[in-house]
């Protein structure tokens, strides 16, 4: 690959882009052109995007420049390109959920979060790749090809929001939206070296998010740094009457003051298991040391139900997926299979266009909900879910936040876990518990392996503590003093 020129200084943060566009020192069109050029040059290697329309992107930028020329400079994301996960509806773009069952489908409306991006002056850059219907931990389950980790093109970016995380890490977009059901924002954020927040359940509208597991799904921001993550969260958060699960005041907003002095940080014994990669353990231990040096206090505690989080999560999530995905039958959305009768058409559509992982989860969920097994599986999972929530509540009576690893290992090689669903599911061992309890959780970069693979640390807090988590992560980010700029080019090409 030829030598890569250094990117403009304003590419280091979304806030810098807003300031430059608002002041007139750079035009929104120039910002859009920069990111479109990066995508054109490097995304064939990474495959972060499923759809980008350069003409539409430039039209959005030109409209913003015309506004600014008239003196209209309002908008928290003025001129900032934002990548959007392809399970969020956006007018003018396909919404496929990376599934061939929705190939070519274009929604007639914007998701609430996309509406709020546009209202804040953002440029909707394109739709990013994901595991089909957000079911996966590596973005290898996409019906349109896997995404690669820009830090090492032979490794996964995580999932299911792997396209969004890879786009930010690779410098294709300063901000991105993902969705997090069991870790799908935080896990790829950790593996790609960016910041990702799963908000408190109800803090961000799910209107226009294609449902996977409705009691767990949340839209979340991804960014290069905590300040930018906070900025995006402030734009997308807030009550929405079109989402019955949306709650006013669920996002507490950022907090001021010294976030670490006197902070009680819970360190669960279960987050230091033997299965944890030594490099991840060492990186998280350094975060603990820096927090103590800044005035925090570590509180050892136990969360024994952590071992039941994965089976509980996968019973709940597959059951809800079985119900939610029943609507994709070839009648109302996307392409239709051929059959001699209605049943044959259903079978041809669903059997031929759902991928293996989606079929596996639908079948598991249907089994768990079936007569004779409902009480033993789904009902029992809901009971354990309630117990996990109570265990978290007891923990937060002893501490303010929990700190631990986001993932058990750094990014693993493409194909390593593809034939072993159980090993793939265990990638969510540290991220699945918080969604079961509706809690906010945030992953932020805390180091790298000797070969340059990112490592993420995770903060979890009580419901509504999103702003406090962001403030704590910002303070720890400053203590760590890592280089949080995007890559100038993917590695391992």
**What structural domains does the chain harbor?**
11-255+468-480 (3.90.1300.10)
Structural contact between residues 441 and 459, judged by C-beta atoms closer than 8 angstroms: yes
* Alpha-carbon 438 to chain mean position: 16
- Residue 199: pLDDT band with limits 50, 70, 90: very high
Contact 123, 28 (CB under 8 A): yes
Question: Is the pLDDT score of 5 beyond 70?
Answer: no
Q: Could you tell me the pLDDT band of residue 1, with boundaries at 50, 70 and 90?
A: very low
3-state helix, strand, coil in the chain (%, to 5): 40, 15, 45
Summarize the confidence of residues 27-36 as an average pLDDT: 98
Q: What is the mean pLDDT of residues 79-89?
A: 98
Active site residue 322: no
Q: What is the 3-state secondary structure (H, E, C) of 360-378?
A: HHHHHHHHHHCCCCCHHHH
Residue 211 has pLDDT above 60, yes or no: yes
The one catalytic residue among 161, 164, 179, 184 = 184
CA R_g for the chain: 21
Q: Please report, for residues 138, 146, 193, 207, 386, the alpha-carbon distance to residue 447 in angstroms, rounded to integers and kept in the order given.
A: 20, 25, 8, 36, 34
Q: Is 343 among the catalytic positions?
A: no
Reported as a single tens digit per residue, the pLDDT across 366-421 is 999 998 899 999 999 999 999 999 999 999 999 999 999 999 999 999 999 999 99
- Per residue in 415-449, pLDDT (tens digit) is 999 999 999 999 999 999 999 999 999 999 999 99
Percent of the chain with pLDDT over 70: 98
Q: Tell me the sheet residues that pair with 267.
A: 300
- Residue 379 known to be catalytic: no
Q: Please give the mean pLDDT across all residues of the chain.
A: 95
**228 is written with which tokens?**
């930018």
* pLDDT tops 50 at residue 3: no
Question: What pLDDT digit, counting tens, does each position of 97-121 carry?
Answer: 999 999 999 999 999 999 999 999 9
Contact (Cβ atoms closer than 8 angstroms) between residue 445 and residue 419: no
Dihedral angle, C-alpha 269, 275, 278, 284, nearest 10 °? -40
Q: Note the residue count of the chain.
A: 493
What percentage of the chain has pLDDT greater than the value 90?
A: 90
Residue 2 pLDDT greater than 60, yes or no: no
Confidence of residue 333 (pLDDT cuts 50, 70, 90): confident
Residue range 36-46: mean pLDDT, rounded: 98
Compute the half-sphere exposure of residue 73: CA atoms within 13 Å on the CB side of its CA: 11
3-state secondary structure at position 223: strand
> For 474-491, what is the mean pLDDT?
96
Q: Say which of 13, 99, 160, 161 is annotated catalytic.
A: 160
Pairing of strands 401-405, 297-301: unpaired
Pairing of strands 218-223, 454-460: unpaired
Model confidence band, residue 216 (pLDDT cutoffs 50, 70, 90): very high
What band does 254 get if pLDDT is binned at 50, 70 and 90? low
């Amino acid at each position: 690959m030829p030598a890569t020129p250094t990117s403009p200084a304003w590419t280091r943060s979304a806030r810098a882009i807003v300031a430059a566009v608002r002041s007139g020192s750079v035009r929104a069109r120039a910002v859009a052109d920069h990111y479109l050029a990066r995508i054109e040059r490097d995304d064939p290697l990474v495959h972060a995007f499923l759809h980008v329309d350069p003409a539409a992107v430039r039209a959005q930028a030109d409209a913003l420049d015309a506004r600014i020329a008239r003196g209209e400079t309002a908008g928290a994301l003025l001129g900032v390109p934002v990548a959007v996960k392809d399970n969020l509806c956006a007018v003018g773009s396909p919404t496929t959920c990376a599934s061939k069952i929705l190939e070519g489908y274009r929604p007639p409306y914007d998701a609430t979060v996309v509406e709020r991006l546009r209202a804040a002056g953002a440029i909707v850059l394109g739709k990013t790749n994901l595991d089909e219907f957000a079911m996966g931990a590596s973005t290898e389950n996409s019906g349109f090809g896997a995404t690669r980790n820009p830090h090492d093109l032979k490794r996964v970016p995580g999932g299911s929001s792997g396209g969004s995380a890879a786009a930010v890490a690779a410098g294709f977009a300063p901000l991105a939206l993902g969705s997090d059901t069991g870790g799908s924002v935080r896990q790829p954020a950790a593996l790609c070296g960016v910041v990702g927040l799963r908000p408190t359940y109800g803090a961000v509208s799910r209107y226009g998010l294609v449902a996977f597991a409705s009691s767990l799904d949340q839209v979340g921001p991804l960014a290069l740094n905590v300040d930018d993550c906070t900025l995006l969260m402030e734009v997308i958060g807030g009550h929405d009457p079109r989402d019955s699960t949306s709650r006013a005041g669920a996002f507490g907003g950022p907090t001021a003051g010294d976030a670490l002095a006197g902070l009680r940080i819970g360190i669960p014994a279960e987050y230091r298991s033997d299965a944890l990669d030594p490099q991840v353990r060492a990186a998280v231990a350094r975060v603990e040391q820096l927090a103590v040096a800044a005035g925090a206090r570590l509180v050892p505690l136990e969360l024994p139900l952590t071992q039941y989080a994965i089976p509980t999560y996968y019973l709940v999530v597959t059951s809800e997926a079985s119900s939610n995905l029943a609507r994709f039958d070839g009648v109302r959305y996307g392409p239709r299979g051929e059959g001699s009768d209605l049943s044959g058409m259903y079978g041809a559509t669903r059997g031929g266009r759902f991928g293996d992982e989606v079929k596996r989860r639908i079948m598991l969920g249907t089994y768990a909900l079936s007569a004779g097994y409902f009480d033993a599986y789904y009902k029992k999972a809901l009971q354990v879910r309630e117990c996990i929530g109570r265990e978290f509540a007891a923990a937060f009576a002893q501490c303010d936040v929990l700190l631990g690893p986001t993932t058990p290992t750094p990014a693993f090689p493409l194909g390593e876990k593809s034939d072993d669903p159980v090993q793939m599911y265990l990638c969510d061992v540290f991220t699945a518990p918080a969604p079961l309890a509706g809690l906010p959780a945030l992953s932020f970069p805390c180091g790298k392996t000797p070969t340059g693979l990112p490592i993420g640390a995770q903060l979890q807090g009580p419901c509504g503590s999103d702003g406090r988590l962001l403030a704590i992560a910002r303070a720890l980010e400053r203590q760590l003093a890592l280089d949080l700029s995007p890559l100038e080019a993917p590695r391992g090409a």
